[in-house]
Amino acid sequence: MERGGTVYIITNFTHTTLYTGVTSDIMFRIKEHKDKEYPKSFSAKYNTVKLVYFCSYDSIEEAIAEEKRIKGGSRKKKIKLIDSMNPEWKDLWEIVKEW
């Protein structure tokens, strides 16, 4: 059975740093970021714990391809992507927890 994946973007509370990632378990992965499970990681160092964008795909391969596309884009494009889904830049963690 093929497992899906989710691309996500997290930021800090001042929205100065963006981190794009991919996972097969969005709830688990975002909790890791919020709990700073890896204290020396980029997300822990820059306090990127606010989930502002996510999109799920049927296969992890599709999700990885989309993550690479987003990472290869400019900050301006990432902001436009976030604004299209979440114009108020609310923390979407509560939505993910209800899945």
Mean pLDDT, residues 24-47: 96
* Reported pTM: 0.94
- Determine whether 98 is exposed, middle or buried from the number of CB atoms within 10 Å of its CB (0-12, 13-18, 19+): exposed
Residue 99 has pLDDT above 80, yes or no: no
Counting residues of the chain whose pLDDT is more than 70, the rounded percentage is 98
Beta-carbon contacts of 86 under 8 Å, excluding residues fewer than 6 positions away, are: 52, 53, 92
Sorting pLDDT into bands at 50, 70 and 90, what band is 67? very high
Q: Where are the beta strands (DSSP E) in the chain?
A: 5-11, 18-23, 50-57
Sorting pLDDT into bands at 50, 70 and 90, what band is 80? very high
CA angle 93, 98, 40 (to 5 degrees): 35
> Under CATH, which number does the domain 5-97 receive?
3.40.1440.10
